[in-house]
Amino acid sequence: MTEKRNKTHMEDVIINAVQNGPEVDPPADLTCRIMGRLHPKRPSLWIRLRMWFLRPWVVTVRPVTAIPAMTLAVALLALGFVAVREPVEKGAPELASVRFVLHDAGMHARNVSVVGSFNHWRAERSVMWYSPKAKAWILEAQLPPGDHEYLFLVNGTQFVPDPNAPMTSDDGFGHRNSIVFVNGTNEQAL
Amino acid sequence: MKDKREAEIIRKILLGDVQAYGVLVREYQRPVYNLMLRMTGDEDIAADLAQDAFVRAYERLASFNQRRRFFPWLYTLALNVARDWGRREGRDRHVFVEDAAVLVREQDRLDEPKAVNDRIDGAKAFAAVMDLDSKYREALILRYRHDFSMQEIAETLGIGISAAKMRLSRGLDMVRQQFDGGTND
């Protein structure tokens, strides 16, 4: 056997040995011992939000529902085409000015953001500023008409519903989101 | 498919289903326990450290990136648990050597001579791998036993990809050198 072949052969032997070398069985009660040390945790709102966004989506299409749905879709497309050809008077829907306020007299929070359906629940898009005069965290936002779910994110970790929001909605995980209604006349309807 | 199943299990755990974690424990307790055994050489300590690793993984599961494979993440965590133990005990390097003799099963002795020789070489090679410094040994085990990619090996061992390749190459070289001029020819 040449030196090169010998080297390759030995390498194969070593790799094969690593692949198939013996392993020791773990103690029979190891799983029980591990599981016995775990404490159930209530998932935070942030985790539940993440899981909601990451959850697998199942789309089922049945011919019975697909045919009417496609007919409707084509009709809507055609309608949209006609509508687009009409002269646009007002353009895009008017945005309304919405003021988010979280009172914090002692400025206990280091930073606060508004996260909601209107900013895809991304805190970096809606960072609030602290008003020493109002002793509150404040953000003015321009939102389209409709109802928007939101929460305050305090110090980047803690989700807090708006204490002044008159309406809340179930987030599907046992917690509630605050709701702001925007009526499209440059005023928020609370 | 396996990764998708694990992602669903992890999702359940994060939503509060602690019992779902048992599936992952049963799946990976063997490699984690054997890692601890290689690092400590003591079955009781290995069992305790394996427990610690799984408990720590459970506690930190929220930080796991679900686009990655779970096992490399778990292995990295387990390796850190073992290293912490090593530092506490003042022995960063402890070698656990399998008895090569037990690797040659009785029925193998009936095989043709060359095959027997190969297996003996394999047994010696395995013992030599187990005798390596842990940084070379774990690189070889991750690559050839657990099919980790170079990227995963690098991340698990906390080194660059070039260094990971170097460790594999150097590990193979060190084992091979033990047999140069030996019985293999």
B142-163 pLDDT, tens digit each: 999 999 999 999 999 999 989 9
Q: Measured between CA atoms, how close is B144 to chain A, in angstroms? A: 6
Contact A54 B11 (CB under 8 A): yes
Partners of A169 in the β-ladder? A177
Instruction: Measure CA B96 to chain center.
Output: 13
CA distances from residue A86 to A30, A73, A81, B18, B151 in whole angstroms, order as listed: 72, 20, 9, 58, 56
Residue A89 CB partners (closer than 8 Å, separation 6+)? none
Contact A141, A111 (CB under 8 A): no
pLDDT exceeds 80 at position B32: yes
Among chain A residues, the shortest Cα distance to B146 is held by: A19
Residue B93: predicted pLDDT: 42
Parallel, antiparallel, or unpaired: how do β-strands A129-131 and A167-170 relate?
unpaired
pTM score: 0.57
**CB proximity under 8 Å: B 45-104 to A:** 47, 50-51, 54-55, 58, 62, 66, 98, 102-103
**CB proximity under 8 Å: B 145-184 to A:** 145, 172, 175-176, 179, 184
| Three-state DSSP class for residue A94 | coil
Give the least confident one: A79-88, A158-167, B161-170.
Answer: A79-88
Q: Which of B15, B145, B176 sits opposite A10 (nearest CB)?
A: B176
The verdict on ipTM greater than 0.95 is no
Q: Which of A11, A21, A44 sits opposite B172 (nearest CB)?
A: A11
pLDDT (tens digit per residue) in B79-89: 999 989 988 87
Task: Using CB atoms within 10 Å of the CB of residue A103, give its burial: 0 to 12 exposed, 13 to 18 middle, 19+ buried.
Answer: exposed
Name every chain A residue with its beta carbon within 8 A of the beta carbon of B118: 13
Instruction: Give the angle B129-B130-B133 at the CA atoms, nearest 5°.
Output: 85
CA distances from residue B118 to A5, B29, B100, B123 in whole angstroms, order as listed: 15, 31, 13, 9
Residue B185: predicted pLDDT: 40
